[in-house]
Amino acid sequence: MKIEILGTGCPKCKKTTQNVQLAVEELGIDVEINKVEKLDEIIKYSVMMTPALVIDGEVKVAGKIPNKQEIINWLKEKTK
């Protein structure tokens, strides 16, 4: 599974990264986590607001910080 955090490194993006790491640790799953900070790469996902969270190529949220439980729920959907 591949998780991408889209954002330029702002505090909201850092909080999103932290929440992703906490969710992954709680579930004990092995995932690839990448930060995407280049605007040309972010635009490829048709995301206009950051932070954004992409799981296996699917944008799950954009323009807000997802909480740990939301991320856990999305990850559980992918591991079914």
Give residue-wise pLDDT tens across range 8-43. 889 999 999 999 999 999 999 999 999 999 999 999
The verdict on whether 16 is a catalytic residue reads no
Q: How confident is the model at residue 78 (pLDDT cuts 50, 70, 90)?
A: confident
19 close to 32: Cβ distance less than 8 angstroms? no
Q: Which of 5, 13, 52, 61 is catalytic?
A: 13
The verdict on whether 62 is a catalytic residue reads no
Q: How many domains does the chain have?
A: 1
Please count the other Cβ atoms lying within 10 Å of the Cβ belonging to residue 71.
Answer: 24
Q: Which of 10, 29, 33, 48 is catalytic?
A: 10
Q: Report the predicted TM-score, pTM, of the whole model to 2 decimal places.
A: 0.93
Domain carrying residue 17: 2-78
Domain containing residue 58: CATH number:
3.40.30.10
